[in-house]
Amino acid sequence: MVEKIILELSQSFSRIELPGEEAHSKLIPSNRKKVRENLSKDPEILRNARESAVYILIFFDEVYKFYLIKRPPYEGVHSGQIALPGGKTEPEDTSLEQTAMREMSEELGISDGYSHLGALSPLYIPPSNFLVYPFVGICDFAPVVNPDPYEVDQVFAVSIDELIRADIKDAVIKKDESIKYRVPSFEFSNHVVWGATAMILSEFRDILMKLEKR
């Protein structure tokens, strides 16, 4: 069944209607809902946002999978979080897709052997003031990864079937010793995936589930 979904995804990505905000809302932290409401009222928020891009690279290794990474601890809002490979746009980037490709190459050492399928809906991240653009590609083998230890603490693979079947759970996130809050999340390989990464994966999952029902 997953093979059929991936085949259809590869053949028809450009014709897929993106679920966007509807899918994002399933995994949006409650403290960010107000910001999302304000985006339609104040377009300056998005105009002043910094641009970044991430990449979902589907690959085949007995089953279809994609990579997630764990960020190392650092002085920043996304310290230690689970993420998709990606990062901010640099002046030399010719497109947002090229940003995602360059970042995946820098972080994981994957620079070729895959084909581009298309883009998901952009998503604004309030804590870092980034507007992130997700892209999707596919590879018919498991690419060798060579993580940059400065940017990547750990790499792990999630199967497409795991994503489709994943339950949305409440997780308790610690901002520091005195501040904790609950967020909707996925859990893969004992890693809690929440925030922007979970919202992007929610849209990707909705697309896969829609293809599964055809």
Would you list the domain boundaries of the chain?
2-212
Is the pLDDT reported for residue 86 higher than 60?
yes
- pTM, rounded to two decimals: 0.94
Number of residues that this document lists for the chain: 214
The end-to-end CA distance of the chain, in Å, is: 11
Is the pLDDT reported for residue 156 higher than 90?
yes
User: SS3 of 11, please?
Assistant: helix
Is the pLDDT reported for residue 41 higher than 70?
no
Is the pLDDT reported for residue 77 higher than 60?
no
User: In the beta sheet, which residues pair with residue 53?
Assistant: 87, 133
The superfamily (CATH) of domain 2-212 is Nucleoside Triphosphate Pyrophosphohydrolase (3.90.79.10)
Contact between 52 and 196 (Cβ < 8 Å): no
Is the pLDDT reported for residue 46 higher than 90?
no
Please tell me the distance from the alpha carbon of residue 5 to that of residue 23, in angstroms, as a whole number.
Answer: 19
